[in-house]
Chain A
């Protein structure tokens, strides 16, 4: 039994039964398929997370976002006057996460490609784009640049899905995609 020492002291010489052997082979091959699926998706798939990231000082990043916002602001929204920016298609766009907001609100054009910069000013946050359901971790001190192509028009929300203190559940941002 499994709670006793093996009856056959030379257990490593025992033959492996065919049924077990086949299953091991099936499982091993399936593992290889799953492994190469990830590599294949980098070649043929359209949803891959960028590897482009930089170390950045949180305050410097906040200043970059502020000047980006001032340049392209088109209106304000909400009780607190959150700026809405409409950057040119194909440009670098910025969003900062901080206690407890996603700043600013972005207005993008459908089927245009943008370089989205993401970083945090304080703690870790989670960029969760809904309802499209794209989830990216946002760190202070690291700036991720991900190329996105919104392919459907509509109103998207950015939920924070990394716990960031007592205001976490009120941390909501927005991205508009216009036709």
Chain B
């Protein structure tokens, strides 16, 4: 079973993403900020990260930078999740080390297919 770490500071959104992915058989680890994401990443083996870009303590950019420095996560898919849809955000995220960029509101079917594509 693939394990996915989801970092999202808004509880409703965290529950939504977790439920959407759990419902199709993923094991999910939910955390509420970037610091916690890094801690959980070192304790578990993670197959994919789904990180909200705006989070307290350490944002998604901070997390991806730290993760990419660790050899075991150098090639792990890391997906950015954001409600921002301004010009250049996607480019900035991809340049920072994210593998994919998904905007909120997410289409739950699209989210599942994108996660499946990235973990297979």
Instruction: Indicate, yes or no, whether A interacts with B.
Output: no
Using a CB–CB cutoff of 8 Å, the interface residues on chain A facing chain B are none
Chain B contact residues, CB within 8 Å of chain A: none
